[in-house]
A and B are shown apart, each in its own frame.
Chain A
Amino acid sequence: MKHQDINSGRVQKAPENFLSKDGIKTVFAESQRGRRDFIRSAFAAATAGAAVPAVFAQGNPVPAEGGDANILTLPDHARGLGQGVATAGYGTPSKFEANIQRRQSPGLTQTTQASVSFAPLQSLFGIVTPSGLHFERHHQGWWDIDPSRHRFMVNGMVKSPKVFTMDEIMRLPSVSRFHFIECGANTAAEWGNVAVPTVQYTHGMISCSEFTGVPLITLLELAGADLKNGKFVLAEGGDGSSMTRTIPMRLILSGEVIVAYGQNGEMLRPENGYPLRLVVPGVQGVSWVKYLRRVEVGDQPYATKDEAIHYMDLQPDGTHRQYTNLQECKSVVTTPSGGQVLLDKGFYNITGLAWSGKGKIKKVDVSVDGGRNWRSARLETPVLSKALSRFNIDWVWDGRPAIIQSRATDDTGFVQPTYKQLRAVRGTRSIYHNNAIQSWLVQENGEIKNVQLS
Chain B
Amino acid sequence: MSSFREALLTVVLMAVAGLAGAQGAGKYPGVGRDATPREVAAWDIDVRPDFKGLPAGSGSVARGQEVWEGKCAQCHGVFGESNEVFSPLIGGTSADDVKTGRVARLMDPTAGRTTLMKVASLSTVWDYINRAMPWTAPKSLTTDEVYAVTAFLLNLGGVVPENFTLSDKNMAEVQGRMPNRNGMQTKHAMWPGNEFGGVNKADTANVACMKNCATEPTVASLLPDFARNAHGNLLEQNRTVGPQRGADTSKPEGKTAGASGATAAMAVAQAAPAAKSAAGPDASGADNKAAIALTARHSCTACHGMGNRIVGPAFSEIAKKNAGKADYLAGKIKSGGSGVWGAIPMPPQTLNEVDAKAIAAWLASGAGK
Given A140-B132, A153-B40, are A320 and B32 also a contact pair (CB < 8 Å)?
no
Q: Check A370–B217 contact: CB distance below 8 A.
A: yes
Nearest Cβ on chain A to B292's Cβ, whole angstroms: 18
Nearest Cβ on chain B to A240's Cβ, whole angstroms: 4
Nearest residue (CB) in A for B191 is: A323
Q: Check A234–B239 contact: CB distance below 8 A.
A: no
Given A194-B222, A328-B202, are A365 and B33 also a contact pair (CB < 8 Å)?
no
Q: Check B222–A240 contact: CB distance below 8 A.
A: no
Nearest residue (CB) in B for A308 is: B124
Nearest Cβ on chain A to B135's Cβ, whole angstroms: 7
Which of these, B49, B103, B262, contacts A303 with CB under 8 Å?
B49
Which of these, A13, A251, A445, contacts B256 with CB under 8 Å?
A445
Does A86 sit at the interface, judged by CB under 8 A?
no
Does B71 sit at the interface, judged by CB under 8 A?
no
Nearest residue (CB) in A for B272 is: A69
Nearest residue (CB) in B for A29 is: B224
Nearest Cβ on chain A to B192's Cβ, whole angstroms: 5
Which of these, B86, B226, B351, contacts A9 with CB under 8 Å?
B226
Which of these, B83, B84, B245, B274, contacts A340 with CB under 8 Å?
B245
* Cβ–Cβ < 8 Å partners of B195 in chain A: 231-232, 248-249, 301
Q: Check B127–A305 contact: CB distance below 8 A.
A: yes
Q: Check A44–B85 contact: CB distance below 8 A.
A: no
Interface centre among B35, B86, B213, B259 (most CB of A within 10 A): B35
Q: Which of A128-136, A174-182, A264-272, A290-298 contacts B (4 or more CB under 8 A)?
A: A290-298
Nearest Cβ on chain B to A304's Cβ, whole angstroms: 7
A240–B253 alpha-carbon span in the complex (Å): 45
Given A153-B39, A326-B191, are A409 and B347 also a contact pair (CB < 8 Å)?
no
Which of these, A99, A110, A198, A240, contacts B240 with CB under 8 Å?
A99
A139–B138 alpha-carbon span in the complex (Å): 12
Which of chain B's residues 225-264 have a Cβ closer than 8 Å to chain A?
Answer: 225-228, 230-232, 234, 236-247, 249, 253-257, 259-263
* Cβ–Cβ < 8 Å partners of B45 in chain A: 242
A83–B350 alpha-carbon span in the complex (Å): 9
* Cβ–Cβ < 8 Å partners of B28 in chain A: 171-172, 218, 222
Q: Check A242–B131 contact: CB distance below 8 A.
A: yes
Does A27 sit at the interface, judged by CB under 8 A?
yes
Q: Check A10–B231 contact: CB distance below 8 A.
A: yes
Does A250 sit at the interface, judged by CB under 8 A?
yes
Does B3 sit at the interface, judged by CB under 8 A?
no
* Cβ–Cβ < 8 Å partners of A234 in chain B: 46
Number of A residues contacting the other chain (C-beta, 8 Å)?
Answer: 166
Q: Check A8–B224 contact: CB distance below 8 A.
A: yes
Nearest residue (CB) in A for B243 is: A348
Mask, A377-404, CB within 8 Å of B = 1, is 0000000000000000000000100010
Nearest Cβ on chain A to B257's Cβ, whole angstroms: 5
Q: Which of B104-112, B157-165, B313-321 contacts A (4 or more CB under 8 A)?
A: B104-112
Mask, B192-209, CB within 8 Å of A = 1, is 110110000011111111
A9–B119 alpha-carbon span in the complex (Å): 29
Q: Check B113–A373 contact: CB distance below 8 A.
A: no
Q: Check B241–A10 contact: CB distance below 8 A.
A: no
Number of B residues contacting the other chain (C-beta, 8 Å)?
Answer: 127
Nearest Cβ on chain B to A101's Cβ, whole angstroms: 8
A189–B60 alpha-carbon span in the complex (Å): 40
Nearest residue (CB) in B for A362 is: B208
Which of these, A80, A105, A314, A341, contacts B260 with CB under 8 Å?
A341
Which of these, A3, A343, A454, contacts B266 with CB under 8 Å?
A343
Q: Check B213–A372 contact: CB distance below 8 A.
A: yes
A302–B49 alpha-carbon span in the complex (Å): 6
Q: Check A453–B217 contact: CB distance below 8 A.
A: yes
* Cβ–Cβ < 8 Å partners of B135 in chain A: 114, 140, 240
Which of chain B's residues 158-206 have a Cβ closer than 8 Å to chain A?
Answer: 183-193, 195-196, 202-206
Q: Check B192–A282 contact: CB distance below 8 A.
A: yes
Which of these, B24, B48, B214, B249, contacts A302 with CB under 8 Å?
B48
Which of chain A's residues 304-327 have a Cβ closer than 8 Å to chain B?
Answer: 304-305, 308-309, 312-315, 317-326
Q: Check B83–A13 contact: CB distance below 8 A.
A: yes
* B positions within 8 Å CB-CB of A: 24-28, 30-35, 39-40, 43-46, 48-50, 52, 83-87, 102-104, 106-107, 109-110, 112-113, 115, 118-121, 123-124, 127-128, 131-132, 135, 138-139, 183-193, 195-196, 202-214, 216-228, 230-232, 234, 236-247, 249, 253-257, 259-263, 266, 273-274, 299, 302-303, 311, 347, 349-352
20 A-B pairs besides A99-B237, A343-B245, A415-B205 with CB distance below 8 A are A14-B86, A26-B224, A35-B225, A43-B218, A92-B347, A96-B302, A99-B236, A99-B238, A195-B223, A197-B231, A197-B234, A222-B31, A304-B128, A309-B119, A318-B102, A340-B244, A341-B260, A421-B206, A427-B109, A447-B254
Task: List 9 interface pairs A-B (beta carbons < 8 Å), by A numbering.
Answer: A28-B221, A99-B239, A294-B43, A300-B48, A309-B119, A320-B118, A321-B186, A425-B204, A448-B247
